Structure 1
């Protein structure tokens, strides 16, 4: 049997001048946002886009606090990547954990892996492990950043640089909204940004371990997220404003 050929890190035809422009624009975006808001926070998944932002934050020295959602179901590689990133940039990444009572409530109703049963159960799991911890992590913040890009999925094609997060009543920024996948990897290669090990194993998008798998060449880059659900919307609810 022929093994399927999985997604691999793309090459880039981005010129040095064009990449320099992208880097300068990103640094300026972060600096401008940090000037406008006194308590700005960045939610990082440690995947490629978020590592680009992390690198730019560290080099610009913008006053932006980093945190990650420690869902309890992450790959071991992601846990190790958190430590790698902290060591590389000499920064601290706060961990937002779910409440034990919320996890138990989900298990009692759906079972430990009940999210495989359908959209409702999947949303309930993400609600307990991701959305509630995100809400807690953003308490007191004036604004927050994401690594979302328009090119990532059909649900993000109209993504803007600045939004208002109605659900949390704060500003929300997507500083890479107009970057391509090629832009991301050109930056990572030139700046020697640490790469999440799962990107080297066919994972273009990385979430919780049971809900993420490698993607075959030619598939949508988010096809490996919640692959058992027949839906064009590969979202967990973190970026739904209402």
Structure 2
């Protein structure tokens, strides 16, 4: 079977996922790198799932490419974590992808604090367009989506047709629970964003991420005070 976005039909994805359904995350990653090699990239936000995936990927392909969408609006804690990851995994190729416009240029073109007035537009400029540009260089990409994270992610498969980016999206962690993620982090003594210890279960840009109260939806701190729940990367 030829594995590229243009050649696979719905039935092909169903077949592949049936073949992988009893595989664990490491085996799914091995399958993905065997199929796509250097044409596979991991788009990582450096949340706690990202730390698990980076560690698993390092066991499969030591020189894998890890892509971070540097919106210029991330928490300082996120940038500190990236430097720690670079030191722990020196052979990984960690790339920071910037938007084509600086924050100052965006403010001049669209007005100040666009993320408050039109968060979709801000995400499009600083995330969607840069990721579309970067993914055009690859045949497939890896994501840390887990089914239990939200209703919009409940039907995610190991291998997904990504119509938004005309690509194939690999999600090795779909069956992991939050408890299992943290067990892995502690067992392997992985670095993680210290904001997780301050009630930030999901971490994005500083202006659009708030801490979450106990018992609230883990993603309720993203784009708080709006109906927005996703940046658009996984719609």
Task: Tell me if TM exceeds 0.5.
Answer: yes
Q: Using the alignment, how far apart are the partners of 1:115 and 1:210 within structure 2?
A: 7
Residue 137 (1) aligns with residue 134 (2): yes
Tell me the equivalent position of 1:148.
145
| Aligned 1:1-242 pairs, distance under 5 A | 25-38=24-37, 39-61=39-61, 64-90=64-90, 91-100=92-101, 104=105, 106-108=106-108, 110-117=110-117, 121-229=118-226, 231=227, 234-240=229-235
Higher relative contact order (CA 8 A, sep 6+): 1
TM-score between the two structures when normalised by the length of structure 2: 0.84
Deviations 1:150-183 (A, max 9, x none): 1111211111111111122221111111111111
Q: Using the alignment, how far apart are the partners of 2:150 and 2:50 within structure 1?
A: 16
Return the offset for 1:62: 6.0
Deviations 1:122-147 (A, max 9, x none): 11000011111111111220100001
Gaps of 5+ in 2: 1-22
Q: Using the alignment, how far apart are the partners of 2:224 and 2:111 within structure 1?
A: 19
> For the Cα contact (< 8 Å) 1:116–1:228, is it kept in 2?
no
Please state whether the residue corresponding to 1:68 is helix, strand or coil. Answer: strand
TM-score between the two structures when normalised by the length of structure 1: 0.82
Q: Using the alignment, how far apart are the partners of 2:214 and 2:44 within structure 1?
A: 26
Relative distance call for 1:194 and 1:128 in structure 2 (3 A) is same
Q: Using the alignment, how far apart are the partners of 2:70 and 2:224 within structure 1?
A: 22
Q: Using the alignment, how far apart are the partners of 1:62 and 1:210 within structure 2?
A: 34
Deviations 1:106-129 (A, max 9, x none): 424542213213xxx111000011
* Alignment size in residue pairs: 211
Please state whether the residue corresponding to 2:78 is helix, strand or coil. Answer: helix
> For the Cα contact (< 8 Å) 2:58–2:64, is it kept in 1?
no
Gaps of 5+ in 1: 1-23
Segment drifting more, 51-60 vs 92-101? 92-101
> For the Cα contact (< 8 Å) 1:30–1:62, is it kept in 2?
no
> For the Cα contact (< 8 Å) 1:34–1:64, is it kept in 2?
no
Return the offset for 1:192: 1.1
> For the Cα contact (< 8 Å) 2:146–2:173, is it kept in 1?
yes
CA RMSD of aligned residues (A): 1.8
Please state whether the residue corresponding to 2:99 is helix, strand or coil. Answer: coil
Relative distance call for 1:96 and 1:57 in structure 2 (3 A) is same
Relative distance call for 1:197 and 1:101 in structure 2 (3 A) is closer
Q: Using the alignment, how far apart are the partners of 1:75 and 1:108 within structure 2?
A: 23
